[in-house]
Structure 1
Amino acid sequence: MGAWQTLTVEQTGRVAVVTFRRADQLNAMNRLMQREITSAFEALSVDDGVGAIVVTGEGRGFMAGADIKEYAAQSAPEFDSFQAAGTRMYASIEDNRKPVIAAVNGFALGGGMELVLCCDIVIANQYAKLGLPEIKLGLIPGGGGTQRSVAKLGRNRANFLLMTGAIVPASEFVEAGLVNEIVDAEKLMARALELAAMIAAEPAGAVEGLKRLTAHAVSGDLAGGLATERDILGELYRGEIGQRRVREFAEKSAGRAAKAKP
Structure 2
Amino acid sequence: MTAPAGHAAAVLTGELRADRVQLAAAAERGERRLAALSEPAVRTPGERTEAEAVHEELRTARAEFLAAHTERVYDELTAGRTRYLRLDELVEAASRAFPGLVPNAAQLAAERSRPQAGKEAREIDQAIFLRAVLRSPVAGRHLIDAMLRPTPRAMELLPEFQVTGQLRMAAVHLERRAGVARLTLCREDCLNAEDETQVDDMETAVDLALLDPQVRVGMVRGGPMSHPRYRGRRVFSAGINLKKLSAGDIPLVGFLLRRELGYLHKLLRGLASAEPGGWRPVLRTKPWLAAVDTFAIGGGTQMLLVFDHVIAAADAYFSLPAAREGIVPGVANFRFARVAGPRIARQVILAGRRIRAVEPDARVLVDEVVEPEQMDAAVERALTRLDGEAVVANRAMLAVGEESVDEFRTYLAEFALHQALRIYGADVLDKVDRFAGRVT
- Corresponding residue to 1:85 among 241, 248, 258: 258
Task: Could you list the structure 1 runs, at least 4 aligned residues long, displaced by more than 3 angstroms after superposition.
Answer: 173-177
- Corresponding residue to 2:394 among 207, 210, 219: 210
Quick check: 1:14 aligned with 2:198? Answer: no
Quick check: 1:193 aligned with 2:377? Answer: no
Letter in 2 for 1:135: A
- Tell me the TM-score normalised to structure 2 length: 0.47
Q: In the alignment, which residue of structure 1 is the partner of 2:339?
A: 152
**Counterpart Cα distance in 2 of 1:39 and 1:182:** 29
C-alpha deviation, 1:80, in angstroms: 4.0
Q: In the alignment, which residue of structure 2 is the partner of 1:122?
A: 310
Identity between Structure 1 and Structure 2 (%) = 26
Greater RCO, CA 8 A, separation 6+: 1
Q: In the alignment, which residue of structure 1 is the partner of 2:34?
A: none
Q: Is the 8 A contact 1:173 1:179 kept in 2?
A: no
**Counterpart Cα distance in 2 of 1:220 and 1:57:** 30
**Counterpart Cα distance in 2 of 1:23 and 1:39:** 19
How big is each residue's C-alpha offset from its partner over 1:6-64, in whole Å with a ceiling of 9 and x where there is no partner?
A: 11112221112111001221111121111000110011112221111111101342011
Q: Is the 8 A contact 2:168 2:174 kept in 1?
A: no
**Counterpart Cα distance in 2 of 1:159 and 1:193:** 34
Q: In the alignment, which residue of structure 2 is the partner of 1:136?
A: 324
Comparing both structures, which one devotes a greater share of its residues to strand? 1
How big is each residue's C-alpha offset from its partner over 1:70-110, in whole Å with a ceiling of 9 and x where there is no partner?
A: 1222278x334321211112112222311111100121011
Q: CA RMSD in A?
A: 2.0
Q: In the alignment, which residue of structure 1 is the partner of 2:46?
A: none
**Counterpart Cα distance in 2 of 1:182 and 1:174:** 12
- Corresponding residue to 1:4 among 158, 165, 169: 169
C-alpha deviation, 1:196, in angstroms: 0.8
**Count of aligned residue pairs for this structure pair:** 216
How big is each residue's C-alpha offset from its partner over 1:169-198, in whole Å with a ceiling of 9 and x where there is no partner?
A: 022256643211111112212211221123
My pick for the range that moved more, 64-73 or 1-10, is 1-10
**Counterpart Cα distance in 2 of 1:132 and 1:175:** 13
**Counterpart Cα distance in 2 of 1:128 and 1:75:** 29
Unaligned runs of 5+ in 2: 1-160, 162-166, 225-233, 271-284, 406-440
Q: Is the 8 A contact 2:288 2:307 kept in 1?
A: yes
Larger Rg: 2
Report the secondary structure of 2:364's partner residue: coil
- Tell me the TM-score normalised to structure 1 length: 0.76
Q: In the alignment, which residue of structure 1 is the partner of 2:297?
A: 109
Q: In the alignment, which residue of structure 2 is the partner of 1:33?
A: 198
Report the secondary structure of 1:140's partner residue: coil
Report the secondary structure of 1:194's partner residue: helix
Unaligned runs of 5+ in 1: 222-262
Letter in 2 for 1:42: D
Letter in 2 for 1:99: P
Q: In the alignment, which residue of structure 2 is the partner of 1:236?
A: none
Q: In the alignment, which residue of structure 2 is the partner of 1:172?
A: 359
Report the secondary structure of 1:18's partner residue: strand
